Amino acid sequence: MAYKILILGGTTEARELAARLAGEPRYETKLSLAGRTARPAGQPVPVRVGGFGGAEGLAAHLAGKGIDLLVDATHPFAARISANAAEAARVTKVPLLALRRPGWERGKLDRWTEADTVAAAVVALGERTRRVLVTLGRQELAPLRAHPHHFYLIRSVDPVDPPLDLPDAQYLLARGPFGEDDERRLLIDHRIDAILSKNSGGAATYGKIAAARGLGIEVVMVRRPPKPVVPTVGTVDEAVAEIAHRAASGKNRGV
């Protein structure tokens, strides 16, 4: 009988993990996406789109589908989903493995100002008018409205609809990965003097951090929210190895 795996995804790592597991006949892998991206990238395994209805709904899904392993490979800032995953795993006794990419670390030449929330990060931009590259999720842009004196270059995968009520904002549709050279060109062309970013980690969007370092541009960085303490790996390779170990040793459904 195939080892049933449900991956909570939405990240590059989730897609890569699904691709690695897709060719293994011993696994039956499904990927769950929240559905917030209108044009999601193609996936190598069957996909479920939409929420579960909180921890209770996810627990019912795990039990009803006979899931052997739940993998939380959601975005580092998807704190609520990770909390629901931990609770659903506890209730059903379905093992949970978190795939969490390491956060970026400040280097000696980096100019970082760190904040715990997006609202605090926008305040940290200061009273002086700045030209800011904004790389946040579309659902997290509301705090910009309280500080309309800045120019905002807002980059997102899907359109910001409706546009924010801001006097000086420009929208850029783009999907990573973003290389350092391209990011440097973007920062120079738009005369950017600050970047507003979450500490998402990973290589796909690190180009802006490296480019900002080289240009001496400040990065206002939103710290990661706390997540549940669960068995965790930091790379896709580690996840594949751990899943193989669990499948081989019968570590499923609480065994």
Neighbours of 188 (CB within 10 A): 12
- Lowest-confidence range among 25-39, 70-84, 99-113, 212-226? 25-39
CATH number assigned to the domain covering 112-222: 3.40.50.720
Selected residue with higher pLDDT from 35 and 210: 210
Q: Give residue limits of the domains in the chain.
A: 3-102+226-249, 112-222
CATH topology of domain 3-102+226-249: Rossmann fold (3.40.50)
Whether the pLDDT of residue 255 is over 60: the answer is: no
- What would the pLDDT profile of 52-61 be if each residue is shown by its tens digit? 999 999 999 9
Q: What H or E segment, with its residue span, contains residue 232?
A: strand 232-233
SS3 63: helix
SS3 167: coil
Evaluate the CA torsion angle 110, 115, 119, 125 in order and state its sign: negative
Q: Taking each helix axis from N to C terminus, what angle separates 79-92 and 54-65, rounded to the nearest 10 degrees? A: 50
**pLDDT for res 253:** 43
Strand partners for 98: 72, 232
Question: What average pLDDT does this structure show over 129-141?
Answer: 95
- What would the pLDDT profile of 81-105 be if each residue is shown by its tens digit? 999 999 999 999 999 999 999 999 9
Contact criterion met (CB below 8 Å) for 196 and 136 = yes
Q: Do domains 3-102+226-249 and 112-222 have the same CATH topology?
A: yes
- d(CA 67, CA 49) in angstroms, rounded, equals 17
**pLDDT for res 137:** 87
Whether the pLDDT of residue 20 is over 70: the answer is: yes
Question: What average pLDDT does this structure show over 18-40?
Answer: 85
Whether the pLDDT of residue 243 is over 70: the answer is: yes
Whether the pLDDT of residue 35 is over 80: the answer is: no
- d(CA 119, CA 236) in angstroms, rounded, equals 32
Whether the pLDDT of residue 254 is over 60: the answer is: no
Whether the pLDDT of residue 17 is over 70: the answer is: yes
SS3 62: helix
Helices (H), 93-179: 118-124
Radius of gyration of the chain (CA): 20
- d(CA 187, CA 218) in angstroms, rounded, equals 12
- d(CA 40, CA 214) in angstroms, rounded, equals 32
Contact criterion met (CB below 8 Å) for 207 and 177 = yes
Mean pLDDT, the chain, rounded, equals 93
Contact criterion met (CB below 8 Å) for 152 and 169 = yes
